[in-house]
């Protein structure tokens, strides 16, 4: 990324941060993915119970590796032997001290837009864990709610492929949503968080002027 592009990304993020703060989110700027990791881990006290949403961003930033360290109580959704055991981990996440995730889109009007298969990520962002930390690269930022919905649907096939759901949108012959009725459909739940007015500051959004995740 050249200096001019980074400058443009920074300005866009700064403008978004003002809107997020008006909507009672906490908004934090991170220079790069390494600083984002440090910021997130500084926000999590040792001994905290931590849940996560499925996220490429958490892997790319190294946050997931940090959360796995023994000084935290990680609700490990990835280390399960059966689907039912995984669902139990999802349910446990509602009682976490902190939930860490990314988001499918953030609008310049201050909304978080997400689409889920089971709904654990979308619903835990909305309610449950005491605090939520969202980490997002500049590629997640869109102008309008309509664009946010389009973005979430556009990347759904990649997420389906990533989690090995054999949906029609994730085959070698197709990479777009056809509004399927498949059992493995990943677009079952949509959430739009417009603000934290009832619980000011419950959600912190860490914004990075780099491309992170899908």
Query: In this predicted model, what pLDDT tens digit does every residue of 36-52 receive, in sequence order?
Result: 999 999 999 999 999 99
| pLDDT of 167 above 90 | no
pLDDT confidence of residue 186: 81
Q: pTM for the whole thing?
A: 0.92
- Which of 130, 112, 131 lies closest to 122 in space, CA to CA? 112
> What CATH number corresponds to the domain at position 12?
3.40.50.10420
Domain span at residue 126 reads 3-146+192-208
Q: Residue 163 falls within a domain, yes or no?
A: no
What pLDDT digit, counting tens, does each position of 119-141 carry? Answer: 999 999 999 999 999 999 999 99
Average pLDDT over residues 183-208: 94
Q: Residue 166 falls within a domain, yes or no?
A: no
Average pLDDT over residues 5-20: 95
Rounded Cα distance between 175 and 203, Å, is: 32
Which residues 6+ apart lie within 8 Å of 24 measured at CB? 195, 196, 197, 200, 201
What pLDDT digit, counting tens, does each position of 92-119 carry? Answer: 999 999 999 999 999 999 999 999 988 9
Q: Residue 180 falls within a domain, yes or no?
A: no
Residue 192 or residue 117, greater confidence: 192
pLDDT confidence of residue 43: 98
Q: Residue 183 falls within a domain, yes or no?
A: no
Q: Residue 178 falls within a domain, yes or no?
A: no
Q: Residue 162 falls within a domain, yes or no?
A: no
Q: Residue 64 falls within a domain, yes or no?
A: yes
Residue 69 or residue 185, greater confidence: 69
pLDDT confidence of residue 172: 67
Q: Residue 184 falls within a domain, yes or no?
A: no
pLDDT confidence of residue 125: 97
Which value, to the nearest 10 degrees, does the dihedral of the CA atoms of residues 12, 99, 62, 81 take? -140
Could you give the number of structural domains in the chain? 1
Average pLDDT over residues 198-208: 97
């Amino acid at each position: 990324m050249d200096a001019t592009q980074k400058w443009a990304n920074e300005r866009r993020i700064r403008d978004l941060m003002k809107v997020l703060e008006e909507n009672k989110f906490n908004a934090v700027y991170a220079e790069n993915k390494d600083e984002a990791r440090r910021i997130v881990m500084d926000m999590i006290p040792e001994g905290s119970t931590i849940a996560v949403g499925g996220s490429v961003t958490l892997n790319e930033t190294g946050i997931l590796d940090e959360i796995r360290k023994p000084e935290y109580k990680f609700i490990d959704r990835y280390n399960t032997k059966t689907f039912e055991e995984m669902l139990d981990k999802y349910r446990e996440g509602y009682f976490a001290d902190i939930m860490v995730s990314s988001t499918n889109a953030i609008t310049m009007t201050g909304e978080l837009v997400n689409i889920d298969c089971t709904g654990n990520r979308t619903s835990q962002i909305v309610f449950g864990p005491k605090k939520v930390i969202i980490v997002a690269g500049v590629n997640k930022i869109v102008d309008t709610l309509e664009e946010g919905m389009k973005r979430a649907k556009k990347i759904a096939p990649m997420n389906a492929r990533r989690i090995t759901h054999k949906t029609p949108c994730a085959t070698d012959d197709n990479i777009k949503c056809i509004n399927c009725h498949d059992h493995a459909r990943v677009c079952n739940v949509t959430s739009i968080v417009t603000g934290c007015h009832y619980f000011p500051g419950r959600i912190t959004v860490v914004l990075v002027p780099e491309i992170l995740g899908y």
